[in-house]
Structure 1
């Protein structure tokens, strides 16, 4: 059965990297490296970027630091004039703070918002819905994406609840699906009334199945965006075997790193540092430290995919 169509605005498709947060060796924000990462991603032709997310070490950032980096991101995106949509994320647990951030981000010029539903201390389903209703209202008319990440956030949402929210809020335009596997949820959201398109995260481990079921985009980390773009382009050209072959080569690394959020954050930081995207691989403590074998795995990854991952000149 064909998916129902919807008149609501569809978010930018394709590869939409989640920005990392560069730190100096002593743990301070490295704004110069952050700008370098943004400029590099824009140069690759991505249509959107998101910040902050789990890949950004969001739990280690103060409100002031988030504001500084979002301001830099908006300034750089506007300066490039390359039509890059900035998706600013709202991970706050308290509705008071989440709605305040929504209003501030809209005023600052964010073109879209991503909302992580509250999940700490097990809020009721009704409380989660009330939180999302308030954020959607505060953000209107800016498009909003709800992040559905049951493994990381233990959220009480389901497809019927998310579709019902969309029926009441025209600015709910998509769901970031990080259930495992994401494919069935992607298909169910498209079959709902109103239909909701999806982006998928989780490092794109299940991206090909999710795209085949109707997902419109992928939100991985940002240190090897070129690889995801190469998979996407092969698929766009109808070269499905080539897309699957390249993705299959990536899977042993992605599957290992995605055993723990801290692990893939540390691996992506090291890859970014080796490529010259950031000055250090520093993650704020408490953080997952790579052991010798895991550092060797990063080296093997960089060697195997060297043709896609050139060093970034400054």
Structure 2
């Protein structure tokens, strides 16, 4: 039985789970289970489903429900905390989905605030508060203005942290470091993680962050960096991160680009059967494919 997690337990390396499809674009449940089983062996601290890297806008409701159940059952009893993202733009639907995921036994939630048709700041705040009040498990409030077009000030986010002790904050504005410092100055008790492929991983840890939420195709590299940092081996952490940086800087040029790259790496590592991404997506070039081969060889994946 998984333990009950508090906000401060949501830390470390917490990859976003990719969504395997068959070559015809249907869900590949076998590859999904294999991917989860693989992640459970990588010594990551957690895993999150239905993030942007999970291609969540390209799933229907039936698929989401099935995947949610598979996710919780496959990782039951594993050392990972299991989180699922609530991405609905309706407050009422988001509350229902949050309660449903909690009822399945998930350890934490992630919440993408609504941005479609540009709701008012007050409406967004009420949406966040409603979901936080609907459950008592940790909720990672996601701040991704580049993807959503939605700006939230550090002071506004700090108000959420003060009001809801079970809130966690995934900050991925670009760059996130100064924003995080200002946020933590207002809410020093808050737990912060960073996504954005770990581009700012070490800077965010130095600023007071508690972990990183990258993609899932080379989680072992992030685990190694995180362990070096935990042991105070700053030079080793920086050297490894510096080796990774040119790759992720290129691939993070567009969300669809890195989603496709991550899927292709998973396929080449024989973790999933197909690297198919649902359309519209990103077509890799011959140069991209060559770089992926070099990456896998360089890091001995």
Same fold by TM (over 0.5)? yes
Return 5+ residue gaps in structure 2 as ranges: 1-5
Structure 1 match to 2:112? 116
Helix, strand or coil for the counterpart of 1:67?
helix
Q: Please tell me whether the aligned partners of residues 40 and 79 of structure 2 are also in contact (alpha carbons under 8 angstroms).
A: no
Q: Please tell me whether the aligned partners of residues 192 and 211 of structure 2 are also in contact (alpha carbons under 8 angstroms).
A: yes
Q: Please tell me whether the aligned partners of residues 21 and 27 of structure 2 are also in contact (alpha carbons under 8 angstroms).
A: yes
Structure 1 match to 2:44? 46
Q: Please tell me whether the aligned partners of residues 223 and 268 of structure 1 are also in contact (alpha carbons under 8 angstroms).
A: yes
Deviating beyond 3 angstroms after TM superposition, the runs of 4 or more aligned structure 1 residues are: none
The CA deviation at 1:67 is 1.3
Q: 1:283 aligns with which of 260, 266, 277?
A: 277
Q: Please tell me whether the aligned partners of residues 172 and 196 of structure 2 are also in contact (alpha carbons under 8 angstroms).
A: yes
Q: 2:84 aligns with which of 83, 88, 111?
A: 88
Matched, 1:250 2:244: yes
Distance of 1:128 and 1:45 partners within structure 2: 35
Distance of 1:114 and 1:9 partners within structure 2: 12
Root-mean-square deviation (CA), in Å? 1.3
Structure 1 match to 2:153? 158
Structure 2 match to 1:223? 217
Q: 2:234 aligns with which of 237, 240, 245?
A: 240
The CA deviation at 1:190 is 2.0
Distance of 1:194 and 1:275 partners within structure 2: 41
Alignment of 1:161-310 (within 5 A): 161-172=156-167, 174-193=168-187, 195-306=189-300, 309=301
Return 5+ residue gaps in structure 1 as ranges: 1-7, 310-314
The CA deviation at 1:132 is 0.7
Distance of 2:260 and 2:133 partners within structure 1: 36
Helix, strand or coil for the counterpart of 1:50?
strand
Distance of 1:14 and 1:164 partners within structure 2: 24
Helix, strand or coil for the counterpart of 1:272?
helix
Q: 1:75 aligns with which of 73, 76, 81?
A: 73
Listed one character per residue, the Cα deviations across residues 275-306 of structure 1 (whole Å, up to 9, x for unaligned) are 01100010001111111111111111111111
Distance of 1:49 and 1:36 partners within structure 2: 14
Q: 2:144 aligns with which of 135, 141, 149?
A: 149
Structure 1 match to 2:3? none
Distance of 2:276 and 2:162 partners within structure 1: 43
Q: Please tell me whether the aligned partners of residues 43 and 223 of structure 2 are also in contact (alpha carbons under 8 angstroms).
A: no
Helix, strand or coil for the counterpart of 2:109?
strand
Q: Please tell me whether the aligned partners of residues 15 and 228 of structure 1 are also in contact (alpha carbons under 8 angstroms).
A: yes
Distance of 2:210 and 2:38 partners within structure 1: 23
Structure 2 match to 1:107? 103
Q: Please tell me whether the aligned partners of residues 264 and 275 of structure 2 are also in contact (alpha carbons under 8 angstroms).
A: yes
Distance of 1:181 and 1:285 partners within structure 2: 29
Q: Please tell me whether the aligned partners of residues 128 and 156 of structure 1 are also in contact (alpha carbons under 8 angstroms).
A: no
The CA deviation at 1:194 is 6.2
Distance of 1:240 and 1:193 partners within structure 2: 26
Helix, strand or coil for the counterpart of 2:7?
coil
